[in-house]
A and B are shown apart, each in its own frame.
Chain A
Amino acid sequence: MEDQYRHPIVVRVWHWLTAVTALGLLFTGTCVLDVHPRLYWGEVGNESTPAVVAVESAGPAAPGQPAPTVLTLGERHLNVTGLMGVPLDLGPEGMYFLIFPLPDSWHFGGMRAWHFALAWVMCLSWLGYCLYLTISGRLRRVLVPEPDQLKPAAVIHDLWNHLRLRRPRGREAQRYNLLQKVTYLGVLGAVVPLLVMTGLTMSNAVTIRFPWLFSLFAGRESARTLHALAAGLLLLFVIIHIVQLIVVGPVNRLRAMTTGFYRIPKEAR
């Protein structure tokens, strides 16, 4: 048979729902970070405490010139003038320094509201999908690496294939490869839970009930920093996912993730 029924309907619905939700969360989250582009370690962080990562003003801008901007990464200070950094003068409410300008009509409060709404969608669909994967046995059948994939030679072969951007053949084309499995499991089992837990650690009400969240993430501002870091990992995953898609043939994969049917590449039959 030349075609394979690859993705059950639950997988396809979850995939597209999560794709849209994740992009929405990354977008709204970035807009929220934009108004205070400083990340701290520990319990407390504000304009007068040191930041571990920050986009900061490096002095007044000359007329018609981009605002002098410095990107602080721990001990390092990089001049990023022209790449990012926009001063925003709110008159009596003081000065803000943004990473990039946002249209007023987007409403900061509205972005936060969307972020929390999408977070609910993400949490509930993640929970449902994890239950589905476990109960249906798909977790073990499709995502957990098979013993032969974990042999040192197979691991090296898989890494080498990825480095050469070589598409898998034969039996390998009909199952996920090792790096793919590890990545999917990492996103599902580590990145998303980390995002959810660190997000909840920023909530007043949740931490009143579960104060141990502060100990778990070394404080509220650390949780915010880890939230941004995990979001960065998620963004990295999305980018690699799309690049891989383009490398291996977008039409066949997109069709498979929509209708469920995947055409096995010719050389692999």
Chain B
Amino acid sequence: MSLLWNRRSVLTAAGFGTAALLGVELVRNDQWSRAFVDTAERLTLRTQRLILARKPLAREFALNDVSAHFPVNGSRVAPGDAYQRLVDNGFQDWKLRIHGLVRNPLALSLTELRQLGARAQITMHNCDEGWNAIGQWIGVPLGLLLTMAGLAPSARYVVFHCLDKKADDGNFYYESIDLFDAYHPQTILAYDMNGRPLPVEHGAPLRLRVETQIGYKNAKFVDRVEVVDRLTSFGKGRGGWWEDFDNAVWYAGQ
């Protein structure tokens, strides 16, 4: 038998062939793909939780760094007359509800939110498409609201239910983060942007700022905040609109 094609090389070639077939199946088979991608996402989450354990802050910029133009992405407006009426009277008839696994559900008007301890930050918004922009945000730290509401012991995630719908389906936008990111000092529900009340196209009345994560996690048009123990009861159960309908990763710290 030649040295080129002895038993060992034939077995090795068969091994590589099998691996190649398994690789093809990994891409072709939805369940396998999802398991592979989800495993990587968990690895990213664990690694980044490790490096962010001491909760360092994202860079903050000076006022003159604020981008002259902050691109609008996602919905430009929430649908329906009801939303338009809210806009017309400056959201005076609107209240942010915080409910779910909390001891004291809250309903707070914008005026009441503005009376709570505010946080102002000038940060960089990084869109998953690749562009970025710097904006100034003023809002209530989410951690403060969650503390006011008092979390039940089983609370694990915070879901943001939004007033806007994506153009191509009937589902309302929603997003979710876990308690680690919810209590990050720079995670705020912003009512002001660049020194003015949050414009409609940027998500009035409230926009979530979660500086540890990328653009689409920063939900616009936030209407209510629900504290839950699992994400499976919303949409397709993957924790957000992009996660449900575009296979986006739920943990987007990458």
Interface residues of A (CB under 8 A from B): 1-3, 9, 12, 16, 20, 32-33, 35-36, 38, 43-49, 90-94, 107-110, 112-114, 116-117, 120, 202-211, 214, 220-221, 224, 255, 258-261, 263
Q: Which residue of A lies closest to B242 (CB)?
A: A109
A-B contact count, CB below 8 Å? Answer: 164
Given A9-B12, A16-B16, are A110 and B167 neighbors across the interface (CB < 8 Å)?
no
Other 8 A-B pairs with CB < 8 A, given A93-B74, A206-B253, A208-B58: A46-B131, A92-B77, A204-B58, A208-B59, A220-B126, A221-B131, A258-B12, A259-B10
B interface residue count range (under 10 / 10 to 19 / 20 to 34 / 35 or more): 35 or more
Nearest CB of A to B64, in Å:
12
Given A32-B130, A113-B41, are A205 and B248 neighbors across the interface (CB < 8 Å)?
no
By a CB distance below 8 angstroms, the chain A residues around B8 are 259
Q: B126–A114 contact, CB under 8 A?
A: no
By a CB distance below 8 angstroms, the chain A residues around B77 are 92
Q: A113–B248 contact, CB under 8 A?
A: yes
Interface residues of B (CB under 8 A from A): 2-5, 8-10, 12-13, 16, 19-20, 23, 33, 36-37, 39-41, 43-44, 48, 51-52, 56-59, 67-69, 71-77, 124, 126-134, 167, 211-214, 242-243, 246-249, 252-254
| A255 to B209 Cα, complex, angstroms | 54
| A220 to B43 Cα, complex, angstroms | 23
By a CB distance below 8 angstroms, the chain A residues around B37 are 110, 113-114, 117
Nearest CB of A to B134, in Å:
6
| A93 to B216 Cα, complex, angstroms | 14
| A120 to B10 Cα, complex, angstroms | 31
